Amino acid sequence: MLTLDITLRFPGFCLQVAQKLPQTGITALFGRSGSGKSTLLRVIAGLESRATGRVAYGDDIWQDARHFTPPHKRGLGYVFQDTRLFPHLTVAGNLHYADRRARGLPGPTRDEVTAALDLGPLLQRRPQTLSGGEQSRAAIGRALLTRPRMLLMDEPLAALDEARRAEVLPYLERLRDRIGTPILYVSHNMAEVARLASHLLLIDAGRISHAGALQDLLASPDTISALGVREAGAVIHARLAAQDDDGLSQLHTSAGPLYLPRIDAAIGTSLRIRILAQDVILSRTAPTGLSALNILPATVTELHSGSGPGALVQLRTGDELILARITRRSATALDLAPGTPCFAIVKSVSVAPGNIGKDRAPTAKL
């Protein structure tokens, strides 16, 4: 595990983190701008020598009161927001630079990284001729070819528009599922985090407020103050079961069928679906005569009312937990309480494409 117990003070701000990070999959560090995300990444990388405390990777002590390992000896890969590709080298040259420096270290080969990120058509081009999405893929490839113990990614898609971000996300899903390198992924975009991460750290004002499995934290009403009510929404697992003639995809979930606009994937593909709390409507009885196709039987597990007119309802549907954001008046009218059976209604078109991603493929590996 990566173990942190550090403090870094600036005028008007203090980063203070005591946390253990799992060394599997993608751990997302999520928070608002100025919360300390990038600063914490720099501390881990050894780029903030003013930080005090302890940083350890397994049995290797990178920093304590007597010792400080410089960045180039920590065995980390770093992907910055601005990619920082060498402008005088082609994509092939950038990859070769990292590959040469890491010669002899275990990890994916240059051919494997090139194939995983579809870099073949870009190899002879220089960074200034690439689109933002292509530059991001090349920068990620170069970082992977340093054969790092861990890959640090500092909002790598923040500079991209929505279309370019959608272009790159499938490649990140592919890397997550095919390589064994753990990734610490910094973002303030919850749609990205929900698609990619298996673990989640929520940071606010320099402190970790919540840490745990992504699916558990997103389904917990306790994290809403850290996420914001508009970001409230849980992730469920699904399998693509059929492509219907009317343009809908039929998904199999533990709660029953779910119909969404056509998803471009093979039948049998494992998916993760983020359902926003504001897109869930509740009914005490099985509704009829509705245009909504997705009506899932559910049971209330928690009910949280805020100081305003809203209420957040946690529901178990099948093996999954989801959230519904309704008014307190509606919660009272429906007589909702833990244990109350009800039905969760989700409009098919309310689930945006950006909230649908491929789930981890457990058998694939580079």
Dump pLDDT digits (tens) for 176-225.
888 778 999 999 899 999 999 999 999 999 999 999 999 999 999 999 88
Percent of the chain whose pLDDT exceeds 90:
78
- Which helix (H) or strand (E) segment holds residue 206: the answer is none
Average pLDDT over the chain, rounded to whole? 92
Token pair belonging to 266: 């093979």
- Domain covering 2-218, topology: Rossmann fold (3.40.50)
Tokens 């995983």 -> residue = 116
pTM, entire model: 0.89
Q: What is the DSSP letter of 359?
A: P
The residues that bridge with 52 in the sheet, in sequence order, are: 7
Domain ranges of the chain: 2-218, 234-358
Residue 94 predicted with pLDDT over 90: yes
| pLDDT at residue 364 in the model | 32
CB 3 within 8 A of CB 20: yes
Residue 366 has pLDDT above 60, yes or no: no
**% of the chain at pLDDT higher than 70:** 98
Identify the CATH class of 234-358: mainly beta
Residue with tokens 């549907």: 317
Q: Is the pLDDT of residue 174 over 80?
A: yes
pLDDT in tens, 289-332: 888 899 999 999 999 987 789 999 999 999 999 999 999 999 99
The pLDDT confidence band at residue 159, using thresholds 50, 70 and 90, is: confident
Cα(38)–Cα(29) distance, rounded to whole angstroms? 9
38-89 pLDDT tens trace: 999 999 999 998 899 999 999 999 999 999 999 999 999 999 888 899 999 9
In which residue are the tokens 């870009």 written?
122
- Give the containing element (helix H, strand E) for 103: none
22: pLDDT confidence band, cut at 50, 70 and 90? confident
Burial of 308 (0-12, 13-18, 19+ CB in 10 A): exposed
The per-residue pLDDT for range 121-142, each reduced to its tens digit, is 999 999 999 999 999 999 999 9
